[in-house]
């Protein structure tokens, strides 16, 4: 039905001993590959587009 795509983003701060990592999850349409940040957006896309 759908798959979640995870992407890692690492932001380096000017000080070498500090860094932060954020992980963003995206929902991908199995039919066209378009990605959405929220599952509800994917559901709306699938019901209107496919």
**pLDDT of res. 50:** 85
Whether 49 is covered by a domain: the verdict is no
Which secondary structure element, helix H or strand E, spans residue 49, and what is its range?
helix 39-49
Give the mean pLDDT of the chain: 76
Whether 6 is covered by a domain: the verdict is yes
**pLDDT of res. 16:** 47
Whether 48 is covered by a domain: the verdict is no
Stretches in the chain below the pLDDT threshold 70: 1-4, 6-22
Report percent pLDDT > 90 for the chain: 48
Is the pTM for the entire model greater than 0.85?
no
Whether 8 is covered by a domain: the verdict is yes
Q: Measuring CA to CA, which residue among 29, 49, 48, 50 is closest to residue 39?
A: 29
Give me the number of domains the chain comprises: 1
Tokens of 38: 């929220």
Distance CA 33, CA 17 (A): 38
**pLDDT of res. 13:** 43
């Amino acid at each position: 039905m759908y798959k979640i795509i995870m992407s890692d983003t690492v932001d380096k701060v000017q000080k070498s001993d500090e860094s932060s990592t954020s992980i963003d999850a995206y929902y991908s349409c199995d039919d066209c590959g378009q990605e959405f940040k929220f599952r509800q957006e994917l559901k709306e896309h699938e019901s209107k587009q496919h």
